[in-house]
Amino acid sequence: MNKLILFSKLFKDFKVEELITLAREAGVDGYDLCVRPGYPINPDNAAGELVKAVKKFKQAGLEVPMATGNFDLLYPEHPTAEPILSAMDKADVRLLKLGYYFFDPIKQDYWQEVDRIRKGFERWSVLAKKYNVKICYHTHCNRCMGLNGSALAHLLRGFDPKYFGAYMDPCHLAIEGEEFAFAIAIMKDYLSILGLKDTLINRAEKNGQSSKATHMVRAGEGVVEWPTVFADLARVKFTGPLSVHCEFEVPPAELMPAVKSEVKFFRAHLQEAQK
């Protein structure tokens, strides 16, 4: 059964108890928990605090299936990598989201970068097996490696799906022009978690020339075809977590109602697809 969880990125100043209250009010099943500098659970204190936090969440009936690392958590040699994975194992948090490998198609060689990242994944596999944690990479637009299912396959193909996962994101796939069903056909063996947000794609001008502009909007107001997305998830029998991102801009006073509305939107689509 899929769980709707909330990405805690927007709630940097919330203590664990406040996140529990927020989850109850929003109607989510748990959290995709940011473990980044400045957050209640961060790379410096995760070894001691993650277990305590997850215990509080579980006592409140909430799940924490994923920890999202900082943007610089890219290779297992990072000084916080093993402490975070060790803490995740103790807390029974089994999915880790890495940072992003950025790519400049003008200055860098694509296949050299693929090879470099895959060698890093080979080293990640040692820690993944040691701590029984799955290393997940997010399909993110704007010149990130693995920005869609096709490109992510270059990075993950051949690695054990028990220890490496695809964090698929229909919004970013839409921006990059890859149909969700196409992406799932490529990455279904690795599909581990889904990011839920929406975007509008508009024409803009840059240096007097036509260009593309995107901005995040509330779910259902953008270009993502949500009925199709949820039908595809049901078709491939995906039962993993669904992370609600809420990255649209609203005045602070409207944030909580907007979060509730976003969760309600996705809950309705999930229930409809599961009939």
Percent over 90 (pLDDT), the chain: 93
The mean pLDDT value for 117-138 works out to 98
Number of domains in the chain: 1
Kindly report the average pLDDT of the chain as a whole number. Answer: 96
Mean pLDDT of 35-52: 95
- Please give the structure tokens belonging to residue 195: 């990011």
Q: What integer is the mean pLDDT of 74-101? A: 97
- Share above pLDDT 70 across residues of the chain, in percent, rounded to a whole number: 100
- What pLDDT is attached to residue 145? 98
> Which secondary structure element, helix H or strand E, spans residue 165, and what is its range?
strand 164-168
Establish how many alpha carbons lie within 13 A of residue 151's alpha carbon, considering only the half-sphere containing its beta carbon. Answer: 27
Mean pLDDT of 74-102: 97
Residue 183 — very low, low, confident or very high, per pLDDT cuts 50/70/90?
Answer: very high
For the entire predicted model, the pTM comes to 0.96
- Over 80: is that where the pLDDT of 207 sits? no
Predicted pLDDT of residue 265: 97
Q: Residue 242 is part of which domain span?
A: 4-273
What local confidence, expressed as pLDDT, does residue 76 receive? 98
Q: Of 86, 89, 66, 91, which Cα lies nearest the Cα of 76?
A: 86
Other CB atoms within 10 A of residue 69 CB: 24
Residues near 271 by beta carbon (within 8 Å), at least 6 away in sequence? none
Q: Indicate if the pLDDT at residue 253 is higher than 80.
A: yes
Out of 7-11, 147-151, 193-197, 247-251, which region has the weakest mean confidence (pLDDT)? 247-251
Beta bridge partners of 211: 204
Q: How far is CA 140 from the centre of its chain?
A: 9
pLDDT above 90: residue 1: no
Tell me how far apart the alpha carbons of residues 112 and 96 are, in angstroms, rounded to a whole number: 25
The pLDDT of residue 209 is above 90: no
The C-alpha angle with vertex 141 and arms to 258 and 12, in degrees rounded to 5, equals 45
Chain segment 91-101, per-residue pLDDT in tens: 999 999 999 99
Pairing of β 198-206 and β 134-138: unpaired
Q: What is the CATH classification number for the domain harbouring 109?
A: 3.20.20.150
